[in-house]
Amino acid sequence: MQKSILITGASTGIGRALAFEFSPRGYALGLCARRMELLESLRDELGGETQVAIARLDVAELESVPEVLHKLADELGGVQIVIANAGVGERSYPGEGTFHLDRKVIEINVLGAMATIDAGAEILKKEGGGQIVGISSVAGFRGLSSTPAYSASKAALSTYMEGIRNHLKKHEIAVTVLNPGFIDTQINTHRRSRPFLISAEKGARLMADMIKKKFGPPPFRFCLGL
């Protein structure tokens, strides 16, 4: 039976690179993001041999997340891996009149990811098991002064995923938290310094290998570039 993966935030960057990485590994792909035109071109670029289902999804529209993910899973005839990848980074500091940016980061990176995981767990329970992957970040290990809300969002995602691991294990669902360092994507191109930068292609290859190994709980969290 062909295996399938759902990836949120697949229109650019890591999500897009993961689609190119998993396609030749024989997976069918359920890809979602807000920009449908990018997903349509990605589907074309992936070629006819890979079964690809696409859908518009704004993970901050929390109520729509289960409906969209269930629809993609149905279209693919089942799903074994769900990757909560959609995320944003914003520079914002207290007292600067930019709290709306902090709110956006938390809504997308924390609540949007949790809604993805919640719907993903429901889908995988029906499948009798599978794997949920969260793309967290080394930025979540400490409160970075350059992006405090982003750091907080990734710490929250990692901690949440740590907390659900034992519960989901009972349902044969593995939980994998990946913590990349700098990967060359639109989220960080504005930064003056990007230490230990790697390409999205290399990052996706390393992450796909870690996903395959069902990389487990801390201290074995996956770190890139550190």
Ligand X SMILES: NC(=O)c1ccc[n+]([C@@H]2O[C@H](COP(=O)([O-])OP(=O)(O)OC[C@H]3O[C@@H](n4cnc5c(N)ncnc54)[C@H](OP(=O)(O)O)[C@@H]3O)[C@@H](O)[C@H]2O)c1
Contacting residue, 5, 6, 11, 81, with ligand X by CB under 6 A: 11
Please list, residue by residue across 112-128, b when 16 or more beta carbons sit within 10 angstroms of its beta carbon and e when fewer do.
bbbbbbbbbbebbeeee
**Site map for ligand X, 27-46, x if CB under 6 A?**
------xxx--x--------
Of 34 and 166, CB closest to ligand X: 34
Contacting residue, 146, 159, 166, 186, with ligand X by CB under 6 A: 186
- Residue 120 as a binder of ligand X (CB under 6 A): the answer is no
Question: What are the beta bridge partners of residue 6?
Answer: 30, 82
CA 174 to chain centroid, in Å, comes to 15
Distance CA 45, CA 36 (A): 14
Contacting residue, 19, 135, 168, 174, with ligand X by CB under 6 A: 135
Question: How many C-beta atoms lie closer than 10 Å to residue 86's C-beta?
Answer: 25
Residue 150 known to be catalytic? yes
- Residue 101 as a binder of ligand X (CB under 6 A): the answer is no
- CA nearest neighbour of 38 among 186, 197, 154: 186
CB of 128 to ligand X, least distance (A): 28
Distance CA 198, CA 57 (A): 28
Distance CA 16, CA 18 (A): 5
- Residue 137 as a binder of ligand X (CB under 6 A): the answer is yes
- Residue 14 as a binder of ligand X (CB under 6 A): the answer is yes
132 three-class SS: strand
- CA nearest neighbour of 111 among 147, 79, 63, 179: 63
Of 38 and 129, CB closest to ligand X: 38
CB of 131 to ligand X, least distance (A): 17
- CA nearest neighbour of 132 among 218, 220, 2, 6: 6
- CA nearest neighbour of 137 among 116, 117, 109: 109
Contacting residue, 188, 191, 202, 216, with ligand X by CB under 6 A: 188
- Residue 59 as a binder of ligand X (CB under 6 A): the answer is yes
- Residue 60 as a binder of ligand X (CB under 6 A): the answer is yes
Stretch that binds ligand X, among 23-31, 93-101, 186-194, 211-219 (CB under 6 A): 186-194
Which amino acids are annotated catalytic? 150
Q: Which residues of this chain interact with ligand X, rule CB under 6 A?
A: 8-15, 33-35, 38, 57-60, 85-88, 108, 112, 135, 137, 180, 182-183, 185-188
